[in-house]
Amino acid sequence: MEWIGDPRVGDWLRDRLDDDLGVVPHGYDAYARILHPAQVRSLPDRAVPTIEEWSRMPGAEQDALIGRFIDRDTTWAETATAFGTVLHPLAQWQRIVRTPPEEDWNVRVAPDGREFTSPDEGMIDPALFAAIARHLAAHTTTPDAGVAAIWEGWGGLVGLLGESPSRAVLEFGGDPAHEQMLRQSVRDPFNNPFRKPTWQPGILSDEISKAPRLQLPGRDYVTFAAGASVFTDPAWVTDAPWTEGATAQHPNLLWPGDRSWVMVSEIDFDSTVVAGSAALIAALVADPALEAFIVAEDADLTWDGDGVNR
């Protein structure tokens, strides 16, 4: 996964996107929307059975009860059933969990007492991403060649010129009034004469951080050479150049050398979209490991796109 320093590698994609935060490229035969998993758990105040009650329960009932008290991934289908809503290709999370206006949709309690937490936006578990990548690799003539693009805004990814307080400012004396003045100066970036811009390194090298980005509508990306086959094993996180520690953000954009498909994980969307052949989309939708739907090329995936659960 070598860095691609020439941002023109994505010029062809820009021509297929709308001007205003274009996300999904036009011109492919079919499109799939893959829903990101949510989380479910029971609330702490739910009644816990006694040891005697537990011993009398059938095994299946015990398993079901355990599942209600442990945080676990859940599907949108299970969520819709819990809230009495309808899961469909353009469903939106806040509608699925019946969020009243002006209330928080990130955590909602269903009528049965279970607590549902919204899916992650712009990211999924490496194992689930690997499941998607296996289909992508099988539907291109260039599974070992392609481009992976990472949004530049992920925390700490690239270095930047920022401001940090001088050491002298932090060495307070014994005068309380003087200390208060210095503390206010540290907190005030506009009037602090001691604060100077300094280069703050990121996960990626300074060379990459300071180089031009792939600029698409509303988003800038750092690009790397990587085929879909690289991501078919969840262990790819240990080799990615943008990795820090044991985890890594998967690509927000991925396409093969033959451009037969494009995968898009927009940072503000709780689903990943794949544009490609009808065969690829059918395979993704049929995979029981994925919760995916066929959608139209111009599908409205914004918060207002769910016209069913209103």
What pLDDT does residue 172 have?
34
At 166, the amino acid letter reads S
Print pLDDT tens along the chain (310 aa).
899 999 899 999 988 988 765 678 999 999 999 999 999 987 655 565 667 776 788 888 776 666 565 678 999 999 999 999 999 999 999 999 999 988 899 999 999 888 999 999 988 989 999 999 999 999 999 999 999 999 998 878 888 777 543 333 333 334 444 444 444 444 445 555 556 778 788 888 888 888 999 999 889 999 999 999 999 999 888 888 887 755 678 999 999 999 999 999 998 999 999 999 999 999 999 999 999 999 999 888 888 888 888 8
**What pLDDT is recorded for position 163?**
58
Decide if 184 contacts 190 (C-beta within 8 A): no
Q: Report pLDDT for 1.
A: 87
Contact 256, 225 (CB under 8 A): no
Instruction: Name the nearest CA neighbour of 176 among 184, 168, 165, 164.
Output: 184
Per-domain residue ranges of the chain: 2-36+122-158+204-305, 38-117, 160-200
How far apart CA 73 and CA 40 sit, in angstroms, is 6
Residue 39 parent element (H or E): strand 38-42
pLDDT of residue 49: 64
Q: Give the pLDDT of residue 300.
A: 87
Residue 309 in contact with residue 95, Cβ under 8 Å?
yes
Burial of 203 (0-12, 13-18, 19+ CB in 10 A): buried
Distances, alpha carbon 233 to alpha carbons 128, 131, 263, 288, in Å: 10, 8, 17, 18
Place of tokens 């009528």: 111
Q: Which two tokens stand for residue 158?
A: 């690239």
pTM of the model: 0.80
